[in-house]
């Protein structure tokens, strides 16, 4: 129960700002009916309970299922089997994703029924399946993520020239809608499981990126559907939006439908897992019962969560958007910015991604820093989306194309682990809250502004939200990697081994070399040339006090990635090995090497010469 309490406390901290902002708007400048306000409050309570239970169920069920399925993929020797299983996992988990079903129904309603919701869902799910399959193959073959994503978005940029504004907005919105409360934790678990099974020095980097790859599938699928069908424009007339009346009746009426959708969302993946467990996994009864229990909690939490979002948040978002657009365009843009600051923090997938970042990096990448970066980026994105609605000359591609292009360029000079996190964050930031509350807010504003088109301007806000984290976090990773600290120049003096006074019979020394990540193999090579044989490499983060990186303005500390190389050498060669490491120009300048020597069998007395151990450590 302590885990449930922690989840509830975390969700409360992030939900409270959204409720507070909406209440302030309702009691100050926005006139909203009393039953809508009460329904929103009731929905907020359901939201809190549902999201807490859902996150608990994810820990108990979806993560183990994803890790077991990823082990099956990683240990398979058949390229055909890897590709096919990866495709079906991506397809099945997406075809029933509630966020995607919501988006499909919104597109069908906005187009006056000319675009079928079912067709959109299946086309998008095929695109996701294909990209998950390609993403798994990339990970297993250790291909660079930045190159893969550069090629993928290069194709997307070309296709944008061939589709209309309506399809451009819907395709990028579909990308965000696929990374919802169900798909994201599952795909993150697959990514983490594959990286653990594969191992190697890129385990951290490989733990992220698959969600970002998956997000490109819907964009390609919708654009290709438009091109192949030769349908460039969407014709249709959306009906007038009618706000539901009453407090409990809309909630009660929504529960059966949402429960059925949630069952459909979980059933295909659950069946696939149980089939594999019966044939191959054969998990112990205790572990299997825990997964079944987790699935039940996931179903219950997802039903409560989506009921709250659809019956409370959807109406409130649309009404606020309409009222503010009629009142003042500047207020609309300002409120959009405020919503963006806080709405991303209540996305359930953001919680899952944050927990995985802490697990993979052992807490050395501050979770608050990732959340702050996401919050500011999404706030700017939603504000710019409001600018698109009120200024007809401003187009979606003005932001989408340059934003992704700059992010792709930054990915080649950014800290590698931030690249995968950035693409995953772009997916998780655009989850249930964005697909319902924020999209409804934008469509409400577009529906009352004469120069706006709901199909063109009402959509696209999810696309902007999905692009902002990719841009902002790759920028953060670039700052993190290239932020340099001025070091005092210390004159190196020759260390004479004859001045060491030994006590006892010391036969071996332990040499510990600490370098920036990527230079461990260079340390081993140089040490071998001086007589060392073999080494142990440990990877982690953290270094001396004076080497900590403080990001400007926000003043948050980041610890750079490091590699520790341990070498056991004879005492007669330990000093020459240490000197050779310190004198290597590449290790000194780029690797920022530090070397420490410790005896392994006896203690040594303090040095009685002009040098002591503090001098040696300061020089190294």
Q: What is the pLDDT of residue 122?
A: 86
Burial 470-494 (b: 16+ CB within 10 A, else e): bbbbbbbbbbbbeeeeeeeeeeeee
Residue 551 pLDDT level (bands cut at 50, 70, 90): very low
The three state secondary structure string of 13-45 is: HHHHHHHHHHHHHHCCCCCCCHHHHHHHHHHHH
Q: What is the pLDDT of residue 450?
A: 82
User: Which percentage of the chain shows pLDDT scores above 70?
Assistant: 77
Q: Which of 424, 456, 482 is the last residue of a domain?
A: 482
Q: What is the pLDDT of residue 477?
A: 76
| Structure tokens that stand for 285 in this block | 């009864």
User: Which percentage of the chain shows pLDDT scores above 90?
Assistant: 3
Shared domain for 387 and 303, answered yes or no, is: yes
pLDDT tens, residue by residue, 568-585: 888 878 888 888 888 888
30, 324 in Cβ contact below 8 A?
yes
Does residue 485 carry a pLDDT above 50? no
Whole-number Å distance between alpha carbons of 117 and 86? 25
Shared domain for 441 and 526, answered yes or no, is: no
Is 440 part of a structural domain of the chain? yes
Is 581 part of a structural domain of the chain? yes
Q: Please enumerate in sequence order all residues whose Cβ is within 8 A of that of 551, keeping only pairs 6 or more positions apart, or say none.
A: 369, 476, 479, 480, 483, 557, 558
Is 5 part of a structural domain of the chain? no
549, 482 in Cβ contact below 8 A?
no
pLDDT tens, residue by residue, 235-259: 555 556 666 677 788 888 888 888 8
Shared domain for 288 and 333, answered yes or no, is: yes
Q: What is the pLDDT of residue 365?
A: 63
**Rounded mean pLDDT of 94-104?**
77
Shared domain for 132 and 56, answered yes or no, is: yes
Residue 348 pLDDT level (bands cut at 50, 70, 90): low
| Structure tokens that stand for 485 in this block | 């600290």
Q: What is the pLDDT of residue 463?
A: 79
Question: First vs last Cα of the chain: how many Å apart?
Answer: 49
Shared domain for 189 and 316, answered yes or no, is: yes
Shared domain for 307 and 433, answered yes or no, is: yes
Q: What is the pLDDT of residue 50?
A: 86
Shared domain for 275 and 388, answered yes or no, is: yes
Is 88 part of a structural domain of the chain? yes
Shared domain for 584 and 465, answered yes or no, is: no
Q: What is the pLDDT of residue 130?
A: 92
Phi, psi of 599 (to 5 degrees): -70, 150
Whole-number Å distance between alpha carbons of 199 and 201? 7
- Domain of residue 528 covers 497-619
Residue 613 pLDDT level (bands cut at 50, 70, 90): very low
446, 457 in Cβ contact below 8 A?
yes
**Rounded mean pLDDT of 94-102?**
77
Is 583 part of a structural domain of the chain? yes
Is 6 part of a structural domain of the chain? no
Whole-number Å distance between alpha carbons of 526 and 343? 52
Pairing of strands 508-516, 557-558: unpaired
**Rounded mean pLDDT of 41-63?**
84
Which has more confidence, 227 or 458?
227
Shared domain for 507 and 478, answered yes or no, is: no
- Hey, CA dihedral for 112, 113, 115, 121, is it positive or negative? positive
- Hey, CA dihedral for 444, 447, 449, 451, is it positive or negative? positive
Shared domain for 561 and 433, answered yes or no, is: no
Pairing of strands 557-558, 549-550: antiparallel
Q: Any idea which residue has 């843009």 for tokens?
A: 333
Does residue 367 carry a pLDDT above 70? no
pLDDT tens, residue by residue, 164-196: 877 888 888 888 778 776 777 777 777 776 776
Q: Which of 457, 482, 507 is the last residue of a domain?
A: 482
Is 527 part of a structural domain of the chain? yes
Instruction: Quote the mean pLDDT of the chain.
Output: 76
Which has more confidence, 457 or 546?
457
> What's the domain count of the chain?
2
Residue 553 pLDDT level (bands cut at 50, 70, 90): very low
What DSSP assignment string belongs to 215-278? HHHHHHHHHHHHHHHT-------PPPP----SSHHHHHHHHHHHHHHHHHHHHHHHHHHHHHII
Does residue 292 carry a pLDDT above 50? yes
Q: Which of 450, 482, 514 is the last residue of a domain?
A: 482
4, 216 in Cβ contact below 8 A?
no
Is 1 part of a structural domain of the chain? no
Does residue 550 carry a pLDDT above 80? no
Does residue 540 carry a pLDDT above 70? no
**Rounded mean pLDDT of 159-163?**
86
Does residue 202 carry a pLDDT above 60? no
Shared domain for 377 and 526, answered yes or no, is: no
């Amino acid at each position: 129960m302590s885990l449930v309490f922690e989840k509830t406390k975390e969700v409360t901290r992030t939900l409270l700002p959204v409720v507070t902002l909406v209440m302030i708007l309702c009691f100050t400048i926005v006139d909203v009916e009393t039953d809508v306000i009460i329904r929103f409050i009731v929905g907020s309570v359901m939201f809190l309970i549902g999201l807490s239970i859902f996150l608990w169920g994810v820990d108990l069920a979806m993560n183990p299922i994803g890790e077991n399925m990823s082990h099956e993929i990683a240990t398979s020797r058949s390229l055909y089997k890897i590709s096919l299983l990866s495709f079906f996992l991506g397809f099945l988990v997406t075809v029933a994703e509630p966020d995607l079903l919501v988006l499909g129904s919104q597109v069908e309603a906005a187009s006056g029924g000319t675009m079928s919701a079912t067709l959109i869902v299946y086309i998008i799910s095929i695109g996701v399946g294909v990209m998950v399959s390609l993403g798994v193959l990339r990970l297993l073959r250790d291909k660079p993520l930045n190159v893969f994503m550069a090629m993928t978005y290069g194709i997307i940029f070309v296709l944008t020239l061939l589709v209309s504004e309506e399809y451009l907005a819907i395709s990028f919105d579909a990308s965000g809608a696929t990374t919802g409360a169900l798909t994201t934790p599952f795909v993150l678990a697959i990514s983490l499981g594959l990286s653990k099974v594969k191992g190697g020095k890129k385990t951290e980097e490989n733990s992220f990126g698959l969600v970002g790859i998956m997000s490109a599938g819907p964009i390609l699928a919708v654009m290709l559907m438009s091109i192949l069908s030769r349908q460039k424009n969407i014709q249709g007339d959306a009906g007038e939006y009618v706000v539901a009346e009453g407090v409990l009746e809309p909630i009660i009426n929504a529960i059966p439908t949402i429960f059925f959708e949630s069952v459909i969302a979980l059933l295909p993946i659950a069946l696939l897992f149980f089939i594999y467990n019966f044939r191959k996994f054969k998990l112990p009864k205790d572990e299997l019962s825990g997964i079944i229990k987790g699935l039940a909690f996931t179903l219950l939490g997802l039903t409560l969560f989506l009921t709250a979002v659809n019956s409370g948040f959807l109406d409130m978002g649309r009404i606020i958007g309409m009222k503010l657009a009629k009142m003042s365009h500047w207020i609309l843009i300002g409120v959009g910015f405020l919503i963006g600051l806080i709405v991303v923090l209540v996305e359930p997938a953001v919680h899952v991604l944050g927990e995985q970042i802490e697990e993979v990096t052992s807490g050395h990448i501050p979770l608050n820093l990732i959340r702050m970066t996401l919050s500011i980026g999404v706030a700017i994105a939603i504000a710019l989306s409001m600018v698109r609605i009120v200024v007809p000359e401003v187009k979606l591609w003005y932001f989408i194309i340059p934003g992704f292009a700059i992010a792709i360029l930054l990915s080649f000079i950014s800290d590698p682990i931030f690249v995968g996190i950035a693409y995953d964050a772009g997916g998780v930031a655009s989850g249930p809250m964005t697909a319902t509350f924020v999209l409804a807010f934008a469509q409400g504003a577009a529906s009352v502004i004469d120069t706006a088109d709901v199909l063109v301007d009402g959509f696209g806000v999810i696309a902007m939200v999905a692009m902002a984290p990719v841009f902002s976090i790759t920028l953060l990773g670039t700052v993190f990697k290239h932020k340099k600290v001025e070091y005092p120049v210390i004159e190196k003096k020759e260390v004479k081994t004859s001045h060491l006074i030994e006590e006892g019979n010391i036969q071996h020394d332990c040499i510990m070399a600490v370098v920036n990540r990527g230079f461990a193999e260079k340390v081993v090579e140089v040490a071998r040339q001086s007589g060392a044989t073999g080494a142990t490499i440990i990877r982690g983060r953290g270094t001396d006090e004076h080497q900590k990186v403080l990001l400007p303005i926000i003043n948050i500390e980041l610890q750079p990635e490091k590699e520790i190389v341990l070498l056991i050498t004879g005492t007669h060669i330990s000093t020459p090995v240490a000197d050779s490491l310190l004198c290597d120009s590449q290790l000194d300048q780029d690797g920022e090497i530090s070397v420490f020597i410790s005896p392994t069998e006896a203690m040594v007395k303090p040095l009685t010469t002009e040098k002591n151990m503090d001098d040696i450590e300061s020089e190294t």
